[in-house]
Structure 1
């Protein structure tokens, strides 16, 4: 999990629609809906402050939470949220009910380690990240916090594909029909030549022959 599981208290909403949502926001709360697991959708209102800090604290969409609705505790995974385009404040949240067999598609961040052990980067090559996140299909209660790419030994021109990543049990990439690229090591104008001395010697020999 990206972060430790947490619990939120909520109130059930009898009415739904734009008017009801505006009234909830005027009361300092955030309207939300819990759906899925073959049950009817449940409209709720959450604490604005709690949701604001959870959304902006990172890992919100990859962490299973418990919502206490009038004493009834429901396990959920946040699936989507809307923010005010100007103020960046939460306007609405969608939650998916999580049962013991629930599987979900989630975007998981990619982390890179051991850049200092990459010969290509040492020579001035550039890490070109093709995918900052990868979408995986996995159990809702076993979402990885991130996947790790080890750059040890990576050289100029190398590509790192999804097949090179060791994934936890039950975690599979949604793109299954090809071994897609996550990153490459590209050359740059600032690169150091790999072999300088032999080239200089060859040039000196050529000049001596001409003389």
Structure 2
């Protein structure tokens, strides 16, 4: 845990190879932390921008289950400046935006069409540990004029689709030459 605050104290912390961080949520006051920058950077690279639940083991405190919130980096030196974590209840249903990865080459593209990705993520509701990191949708069967909707995504019964099922997420149309 961190007891110091302010610009000067944070600058000193960073010079010692530490990164200031904060844990919000969980019904308690925000908890200020200092974390080893090298270790934090390696672990954040693996999970940043994913719906990954992280277990924070805090000296002298209980383990906390968190999602990575905002991560601030220095744009010139590409070093960590600050990290925010949001504490969550693993038994409480939440909403998540899950990325969609389109795989394959659509038949319609081979026949001169063009594939248009309308949405690259879908909103779902479920328990945090049941949310996938991403969905893969095979587009190989799409011909010119075909499309796929969010309703075409195969979901486990424990997850609820929040995005409208009839919303087109990818389509193949004739190529327009301008």
TM-score by length of 2: 0.83
User: What is the root-mean-square deviation of aligned Cα atoms in Å?
Assistant: 2.4
Q: Is the contact between residue 21 and residue 84 of structure 2 (CA under 8 Å) also seen in structure 1?
A: yes
Q: State the SS of the aligned residue for 1:39.
A: coil
Pairwise CA distance, 1:21: 2.6
Q: State the SS of the aligned residue for 1:57.
A: helix
2:19 aligned residue (22, 30, 34):
30
- Is residue 77 of structure 2 the alignment partner of residue 84 of structure 1? no
Pairwise CA distance, 1:189: 6.2
Pairwise CA distance, 1:59: 4.8
Q: State the SS of the aligned residue for 2:13.
A: helix
Partner of 1:112: 102
Q: State the SS of the aligned residue for 2:57.
A: strand
Structure ID, larger Rg = 1
Partner of 1:53: 42
Q: Is the contact between residue 77 and residue 140 of structure 1 (CA under 8 Å) also seen in structure 2?
A: no
Pairwise CA distance, 1:61: 3.6
Number of positions where the alignment pairs a residue of Structure 1 with one of Structure 2? 176
Q: Which runs of 4+ in 1 moved over 4 A?
A: none
Q: Is the contact between residue 144 and residue 168 of structure 1 (CA under 8 Å) also seen in structure 2?
A: no
Q: Which has the higher helix share?
A: 1
TM-score by length of 1: 0.72
Partner of 1:64: 53
- Is residue 57 of structure 2 the alignment partner of residue 75 of structure 1? no
Q: Is the contact between residue 61 and residue 80 of structure 1 (CA under 8 Å) also seen in structure 2?
A: no
Pairwise CA distance, 1:173: 4.4
Over 3 Å counting, the alpha-carbon distance change for 1:14 and 1:173 in structure 2 is farther
Residue ranges of structure 2 left out of the alignment (5+ in a row): none
1:108-187 paired onto structure 2 within 5 Å: 108-115=98-105, 118-176=106-164, 179-187=166-174
- Is residue 33 of structure 2 the alignment partner of residue 44 of structure 1? yes
Residue ranges of structure 1 left out of the alignment (5+ in a row): 1-11, 191-211
